[in-house]
Amino acid sequence: MKILKSSIRVPIRFSETDAMGVVWHGNYLKFFEDAREQFGRDYGIEYLDVHAQGYFIPIVKSEISHKTSIFYGEEAVVNIILEKHDSAKIVFRYEVMNNTTKQVAATGMTMQVFMFVSDRTLELIKPEFYAAWEEAQNWIDA
């Protein structure tokens, strides 16, 4: 399998924790979003670039496995991997590390598809602009 990697550091704010000072489970999806945005900046394919080509890329599937806690005042590092697929889908895998303890706090996956902005119908074939972007990347063998 071919992949691309990126990562982002996320300081844990008070507003992201529950009454025990632990990162609330729903915030992991936000951390995944932060990582996708960083990935887009790193590889030159941001959400607005996709939209300018006439597409939305909604998430159709997400998974999270929680392993250990991250607490207020600590820092998370979100490692993100894009898997290269032949079909018209975008699959990211995530590893959220507690940068203070160096333990894996969570792992996860999101799957996105291409939808036309014009009529919100599903694109079943990989869009040309995305295929060209993929071709220009230096993919890593996993």
DSSP letters for the chain: -EEEEEEEEEEPPGGGB-TTSBBPTTHHHHHHHHHHHHHHHHHT--HHHHHHTTEE--EEEEEEEE-S--BTT-EEEEEEEEEP-SSSEEEEEEEEEETTTTEEEEEEEEEEE-EETTT-PBP-S--HHHHHHHHTS--EE-
pLDDT of residue 54: 98
CB 105 within 8 A of CB 76: yes
| Cβ neighbours around 41 below 10 Å, total | 12
pLDDT band at 140 (very low <50, low <70, confident <90, very high): very high
pTM of the model: 0.95
- Backbone phi, psi, residue 94, to 5°: -130, 150
pLDDT band at 130 (very low <50, low <70, confident <90, very high): very high
pLDDT of residue 120: 97
